[in-house]
Structure 1
Amino acid sequence: MPDTVPTFTLNNGVEIPALGLGVFQTPPDETRAAVSAALDVGYRHIDTAAAYGNEGQVGEALRDSGVARDDVFLETKIWISDYGYDETLHGFEKAARKLGVDQIDLLILHQALPSDFEKTLGAYRALEKLSADARVRAIGVSNFMVDHLTALLDTVDVVPAVNQIEVHPYFAQRAVQDFGAGHGILTQAWAPIGGITFYRDSGHTSTLDDPVIGQIAAGHQKSPAQVMLRWHLQQGRQVIPKSVRPERITENFAVFDFELTDAELTAIDGLETGKRGGPEPADITLAAWGRAIPED
């Protein structure tokens, strides 16, 4: 294990660990143990969200870990129900209270809201205010497509530091990645090892069972998950794999001691299917996806 996790430098100079732990769909009673295990292994970035319902347990695990607050990069997200300028400022207060911190390292908008983009812009302006007041160290977005990013950049003052999107060997969203790179926006990959079930003509249903990835993994004496994480890191993406199993949390962290060849990277690139596993960003509406975020 490395003594320190490699970092990426965001467009405002803040450094973010290259690999973190995601807690999407992790039940609150399992979140504390997963975060504790990750911090013990050496993770120093935890990614959560208001909509996950487990910010409080992330904060508890950090406080109980013995790891200094300044050594852990905390990221969370504002849900669409809290969009709008004043609503998002309050969303920050809720998140900070649950996490038990005064400052959040990275605060991002969880989705674009195409059906009411003015609310999205109001929410982002609140993030700019929180950044100016040093309540957050960096701001960004999640699941924003090129048209969303274009409309945002035409209006706001601060370029998002990250765009957290679905990226894995079967769905790489190259156009979104390229647009972000051209504007200094770091791509942060959720479902980096294809954590959603995918269906391919070859008959296997998971990136973990892909024969191309399996062959590369065997050649490096690594697991398919480790190969996929290495693919992301070498192509300049920050990754937040999710697991609640200590052995998997440890395995996912052991990706800094080998390198994939250019040919291997190209082979993984060639697995693209163009099939999205998560929700279609254009279809996000308050009517379908809105839900109140509790105060505590």
Structure 2
Amino acid sequence: MTWGFVGTRGEWANPAAAESMRLMVERLHTTWTGIALCGWQDTAFSTEVKFREAPTVTDDEVVWAIREAKSLGQKVVLKPILNVTDGTWRAHINFFDVDVPCEPKWSDWFASYTEFIVHYARIAQAEGVEMFCVGCEMVQTDRRADQWRAVIAAVREVYTGLVTYNCDKYQETNVTWWDAVDVISSSGYYPIDDWDNQLDRIEPVVRTHGKPFFFMEAGVMSTAGSEHLPNSWTLEGGISQEAQRDWYEVMFAVCDRRDWVDGWMLWDWKAQLHTLEEAATNAEYAVYGKLAEHTIAQRYSR
């Protein structure tokens, strides 16, 4: 299960966050915890990644979260995610393919992004983290294969664990540098009635590269209609825990028929939990206290 997103300074390393993680492991029977934090850039065409200042969690908070998870018997994926301060989705970060004077450049952006990622790779190495995610849903950057290979090479200079990249939904076939990572992963936000089609599409990628595969993200809001559009935050339907539960049941059942799907890092479990009473009116991806929590717990306890 993914824990702690978005990683806002002050939300981790406190009793409420510790209780949140304990409840996650106890109630869901997780074996891996994805610790997700955010760096920020101002716009989709900014070239500076900011991660040493608020709102990003401090390094001490990151270390605390890793150690807390390990104390609960968890293996850890450390996942630094880049977000855009103005609200643009990170998938739209983009620059000219050919450098133009006085315009922002890919080379400048990748230099800053590499500094951001390697910083956390060093922490992952120091704390014995089992897997490190070098990027998440960076769709427009995916075509920059040589620069991504350089990012991964820089990570491997300081980190010896497993390396993955979390491509976005529908993009598994578009990444040309899967050979550079140890584990292929993607965001599994697929409609409830389309899972078989999407797994049919993804399977040749996994077979061709001969690498392990898992869904680094997968989840759905507890909103009516969300099972048909699980990647949308904008649905205006009423609360429907049933929609969320049904989507999870189908997703697990379909994936169980594919021997190459090695697991999920589900989305998500907050560091600061809503109360059990508030679950009835919570429309977000969080599963705490909802019908889907029971479905996940049943699946994981097997």
TM, length-normalised to structure 1: 0.54
Q: Which amino acid aligns with 1:161?
A: V
5 Å matches for 1:268-287? none
Give the aligned partner of residue 104 of structure 2: none
Q: Is residue 3 of structure 2 the alignment partner of residue 36 of structure 1?
A: no
Q: Tell me the distance in 2 between the aligned counterparts of 1:162 and 1:143.
A: 12
Deviation at 1:98, TM superposition (A): 9.0
Percentage of identical aligned residues: 7
* Residue among 105, 110, 114 paired with 1:84: 110
Q: Which amino acid aligns with 2:71?
A: V
Give the aligned partner of residue 218 of structure 2: 191
Q: Is residue 75 of structure 2 the alignment partner of residue 72 of structure 1?
A: yes
Asked if the contact 1:165/1:190 (under 8 Å) is kept, the reply is: yes
Structure 2 stretches of 5 or more lacking a match?
Answer: 40-55, 83-89, 94-107, 230-235, 274-287
TM, length-normalised to structure 2: 0.53
User: CA separation of 1:196/1:134 partners in 2, compared to 1, >3 Å: closer, same or farther?
Assistant: farther
Count residues with an aligned counterpart.
Answer: 221
Aligned to 1:254, the other structure's residue is in SS state helix
Asked if the contact 2:79/2:134 (under 8 Å) is kept, the reply is: yes
User: CA separation of 1:48/1:87 partners in 2, compared to 1, >3 Å: closer, same or farther?
Assistant: same
User: CA separation of 1:54/1:179 partners in 2, compared to 1, >3 Å: closer, same or farther?
Assistant: farther
Q: Tell me the distance in 1 between the aligned counterparts of 2:241 and 2:148.
A: 37
Asked if the contact 1:84/1:122 (under 8 Å) is kept, the reply is: yes
Deviation at 1:165, TM superposition (A): 1.4
Q: Tell me the distance in 2 between the aligned counterparts of 1:35 and 1:247.
A: 14
What's the CA shift string for 1:38-83, capped at 9, x where partnerless? 24454231223342745864542443467178x5222314536896
5 Å matches for 1:1-296? 20-25=1-6, 29=11, 31-41=17-27, 42-51=29-38, 53=56, 57=61, 59-64=63-68, 67=71, 71-79=74-82, 84=110, 87-94=113-120, 96-97=122-123, 101=127, 103=129, 105-114=131-140, 117-118=143-144, 121-131=146-156, 133-143=158-168, 145-146=171-172, 148-149=174-175, 151-153=176-178, 157-159=179-181, 161-168=183-190, 169-170=192-193, 172=195, 173-174=198-199, 176-182=201-207, 183-185=209-211, 186-188=213-215, 190-193=217-220, 198=225, 208-210=241-243, 224=246, 227-228=249-250, 230-231=252-253, 233-234=255-256, 235=258, 236=261, 238-241=263-266, 242-244=268-270, 247=289, 251=294, 252-256=296-300
Aligned to 1:75, the other structure's residue is in SS state strand
Q: Tell me the distance in 2 between the aligned counterparts of 1:59 and 1:232.
A: 36
Asked if the contact 1:197/1:206 (under 8 Å) is kept, the reply is: yes
Q: Which amino acid aligns with 1:253?
A: A
Q: Which amino acid aligns with 1:72?
A: K
Aligned to 1:167, the other structure's residue is in SS state coil
Q: Is the helix fraction higher in 1 or 2?
A: 1
Structure 1 stretches of 5 or more lacking a match?
Answer: 1-19, 214-222, 259-296
User: CA separation of 1:26/1:91 partners in 2, compared to 1, >3 Å: closer, same or farther?
Assistant: closer
Q: Which amino acid aligns with 1:254?
A: Q
